[in-house]
């Protein structure tokens, strides 16, 4: 690995009561790469993603974004980091139900202080490119699951983040819609140079990544790399 990674976790431990969710997990994400985090249910994938994104504070270990220790930041700094540098796509329930889809996509820009007209104009460009022109004025409750996930992809990318965190982004979709969401997400990320941290237990979804990290019992393994080094 050359140069400083964009995002790096080292020796993370995190327990919830008696449950060790992370037990010495490490991962490094380079700028612009798409990394799948795979592993069985309950192995610690989501917890690792939350630590990387500064949502959950690990009990011990380091998380660095562009070399800066995330746990050393104030809450304000950390939420500014999430707002300006990161984008998020979850399995469901991430859109604000009272806002239209267009307003949902514009929301991260509005929170950065972009004026309404400009924010909505930029959001509308995403609607077009994600083939969503006719859902812009609907509310999340009035669109299909696949359309809702594409709206979420647009919302995650509208601020041109450096890293997008996606936790089972296709988990609730059928194969066709899942493929559509993954294509849009990965194409848009490649185009804008965003790295993607993609949690999935589906191999077909992991097929869109550049490489995979496997989590088991709270520990990470980079099997492909171990295989290469063993040669």
Partner 1 sequence: MSIGQTFLGLLESGPRHGYDLKKTYDDRFGHARPLHYGQVYATLSRLLKDGLVELDGVEPGEGPERKRYAVTSAGVSDVESWLASAEKPEPYLQNTLYTKVILALLTGRSAADLLDVQRAEHLRLMRELTRRKAGGDLADNLICDHALFHLDADLRWLELTAARLDDLGRQVRA
**If contact means CB under 5 to 8 A according to the sort of partner, which of ligand ATP, partner 1, Mg ion, none does residue 208 touch?**
partner 1
Give me the torsion for CA of 19, 224, 91, 74, rounded to 10°.
60
Minimal distance, residue 188 CB to partner 1, in Å:
13
Our finding on whether 42 is near partner 1 (CB under 8 A) is no
d(C-alpha 203, C-alpha 18), whole Å: 31
Minimal distance, residue 32 CB to partner 1, in Å:
16
- Of 115, 133, 111, nearest to 124 by C-alpha is 133
In the bound state with ligand ATP, the residue whose beta carbon lies nearer, of 47 and 85, is 47
In the bound state with Mg ion, the residue whose beta carbon lies nearer, of 26 and 46, is 46
CA 37, 40, 46, 48 dihedral sign is negative
Span interacting with partner 1, options 56-64, 115-123, 131-139, 210-218, rule CB under 8 A:
210-218
d(C-alpha 155, C-alpha 58), whole Å: 27
In the bound state with ligand ATP, the residue whose beta carbon lies nearer, of 99 and 172, is 172
Minimal distance, residue 169 CB to ligand ATP, in Å:
13
Asked if residue 189 lies in contact with residue 6, where contact means CB atoms within 8 angstroms, the answer is no
Asked if residue 9 lies in contact with residue 27, where contact means CB atoms within 8 angstroms, the answer is yes
Collapsing DSSP to helix, strand or coil, 126 comes out as helix
Subset of 37-96 contacting Mg ion (CB under 5 A) = 46
Q: Which residues here bind partner 1, judged by CB under 8 A?
A: 38, 40, 183, 187, 201-204, 206-210, 212, 214, 221, 223-224, 227
Binding site for Mg ion (CB under 5 A): 46
């Amino acid at each position: 690995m050359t140069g400083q990674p964009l995002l790096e976790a080292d020796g993370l431990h995190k327990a919830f009561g008696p449950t060790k969710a992370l037990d010495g997990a490490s991962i490094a994400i380079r700028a612009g790469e798409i990394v799948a985090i795979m592993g069985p249910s309950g192995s610690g994938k989501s917890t690792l993603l939350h630590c990387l994104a500064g949502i959950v504070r690990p009990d011990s270990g380091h998380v660095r974004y562009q070399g800066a220790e995330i746990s050393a930041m104030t809450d304000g700094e950390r939420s500014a980091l999430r707002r300006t540098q990161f984008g998020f796509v979850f399995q469901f329930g991430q859109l604000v139900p009272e806002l239209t889809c267009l307003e949902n996509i514009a929301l991260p820009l509005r929170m950065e202080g972009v004026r309404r007209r400009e924010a909505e104009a930029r959001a509308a460009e995403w609607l077009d490119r994600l083939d969503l022109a006719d859902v812009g004025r609907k509310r999340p409750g009035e669109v299909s699951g696949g359309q809702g996930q594409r709206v979420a992809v647009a919302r995650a990318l509208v601020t041109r983040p450096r890293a997008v965190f996606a936790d089972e982004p296709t988990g609730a979709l059928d194969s066709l819609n899942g493929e559509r969401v993954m294509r849009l997400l990965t194409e848009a990320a490649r185009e804008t140079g965003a790295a993607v941290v993609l949690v999935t237990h589906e191999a077909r979804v992991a097929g869109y990544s550049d490489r995979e990290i496997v989590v088991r019992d709270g520990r990470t393994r980079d099997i492909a790399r171990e295989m290469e080094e063993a040669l």
